[in-house]
Amino acid sequence: MLRRPSWKQGFARYAGRSEKPGLWKGLLGAWLPSLGPTGATLYDVSQYRHHGTLDAGMDISADWVVSDNRALPGYALDFSGSNSHVDCGNFVDLAGQLTLAAWVRLSANGNFVGIIARSTAFAVQNPNLKYILGLNSTSRELWFSSANVEADATGQVVPIGAWHFVGLTLDGANGIYYLDQTQSTFGWSGTPPTYAGTWPLRIGSFTATNGELFGQVGAAWTYGRALTPTEMGVLATDPGAMVRLEELPMGIVPAADTSAAEQPVSVFPDRVGGPRRAIPYW
């Protein structure tokens, strides 16, 4: 019987142990509240370890909540829409292709809400905006903007009160919005989006003080490539598969990964043995 990935029961920490190793390719960040509460830190399980810090306005005893998301059971972070987001610090450079994705449950409308954003300016097509996957004003349509491009997903309205998968892929020439498994393709004229450079990344807000999400987040991912529709379909229907441990026949030891991108890093608590635990597990 497959176990739900969690800090308590274990999970795949690199591609070689994953049920879906392909989803580790090009992974720049994976923040999974579903794995269980970790206090004031939201751990990034990718190789880059861009661990997030919960805003001081959040209550770690109340804002880690049991999730009713059937696709991604476990826990979620509950954002109040004010002084409530996760700051993941300066993020790795990006250029060319991009994927942003998350599982969210909205509680109310907001004003240009950020789900995943790298920005220090509450403005669109601004040099201080690297990119944002968010919701356009109170219409709740999926929306992307960078320093030089803005595009709405017309008709892709994220409902309130239920869990939904939202995402965006850019391949350098075109973009695809995802709302659950519904796709909406868009393009642009002139210069493609520019979003390279070191800039802070936040989950649950546009900037540190504006465009904050009122609702819950169960998972968030960023990739330095455009995931295929099939791969996005896995995140939309079985999001835990990436960190679910591959079941091996009795007596078979998993082969060690040799690529730097897939090496397990001793930052997290091991379920059995290993280095001194950095955080408690349940």
User: In this model, does residue 6 exceed pLDDT 60?
Assistant: yes
In the chain, where are the structural domains located? 15-262
The 10s digit of each residue's pLDDT in 48-67 is 999 999 999 999 999 999 99
Q: What is the pLDDT of residue 127?
A: 64
Give the number of other Cβ atoms within 10 Å of residue 24's Cβ: 25
Q: Tell me the percentage of the chain whose pLDDT exceeds 90.
A: 51
More confident residue, 58 or 97: 58
Q: What's the whole-number average pLDDT of the chain?
A: 82
Q: Report the C-alpha gap between 199 and 264 in whole angstroms.
A: 25
Mean pLDDT in residue range 125-131: 70
Whole-model pTM: value is: 0.85
C-alpha radius of gyration, the chain, whole number: 18
User: In this model, does residue 70 exceed pLDDT 90?
Assistant: yes
The 10s digit of each residue's pLDDT in 206-222 is 888 888 999 999 999 99
CA distances from 76 to 36, 205, 227 (A): 8, 16, 24
**Class of the 15-262 domain?**
mainly beta
CA distances from 210 to 96, 114, 206, 255 (A): 27, 9, 6, 46
Q: What is the pLDDT of residue 263?
A: 37
Mean pLDDT in residue range 26-40: 96
Q: Report the C-alpha gap between 166 and 73 in whole angstroms.
A: 17
The 10s digit of each residue's pLDDT in 239-248 is 999 999 987 5
